[in-house]
Amino acid sequence: MINYNTHDFKKEIEARHGKKSIMVAFDAVGGKNFRHSLALLSPAGSMFAYGAAESTESRGGELLNGLKILFGYGVISPPLMMLNGKSFSGVNMLRVADYQPLLFKEILGGVVALFEKGLITPLVDKNGGEFPLSELAKAHDLLEHRKTVGKIAITL
């Protein structure tokens, strides 16, 4: 595992496997991480984005932060991606829940079933991951400032 906060994952992967060496990239961070992941894709590779955690670092107001997010991803050229046989897909699960609630229910049910069968195990934050309801503000602050790694839960 490579911690992108402490190591340049692009350099690490290139050193281990070479340039343009990955077939699939999943990006929940956006910005520079997205650009690095896209650069690492091999011909016929696929990029999948499902978050923009980097955008939580708001500085300079809503408009400036929006521009930072927009330009942080760089320019994606569909013709160049097609020429190299690369693909890109992204999802905002909040929009899926808003517009396709039955699909969202099915997806969430599938994830819960995998968990119940022991096929997936969520990574729980190293700080314990569980906070009593009285510490909800603390838990939210840690999450908002990207000081958690893994899942956190609020207990009643």
Query: Is residue 73 located within the same domain as residue 139?
Result: no
Using one digit for the tens of pLDDT, what is the confidence trace for 31-85?
888 899 999 999 999 999 987 776 665 556 677 777 777 777 888 888 988 998 9
Do 77 and 126 fall within a single domain?
A: no
Is residue 14 located within the same domain as residue 86? yes
Residue 105 lies in a domain: no
Q: In this structure, are 141 and 80 located in the same domain?
A: no
pLDDT (tens digit, 9 = 90+) per residue, 1-14? 777 778 888 999 99
Token pair, residue 89, equals 């897909």
**Domain CATH code at residue 42:** 3.40.50.720
Residue 29 lies in a domain: yes
Does the pTM exceed 0.85?
A: no
Give pLDDT, residue 31.
Answer: 84
pLDDT in tens, 122-138: 888 776 788 899 999 99
Q: Is there a domain that residue 98 lies in?
A: no
* pLDDT at position 61: 66
Domain encompassing residue 133: 122-156
Ramachandran angles phi, psi of 42, nearest 5°: -80, 165
Instruction: Give me the long-range contacts of 7-14 (CB less than 8 A, separation at least 24).
Output: 9/33, 9/36, 10/36, 10/37, 10/39, 10/40, 13/40, 14/40
For the chain, the domain total comes to 2
64 found inside a domain: yes
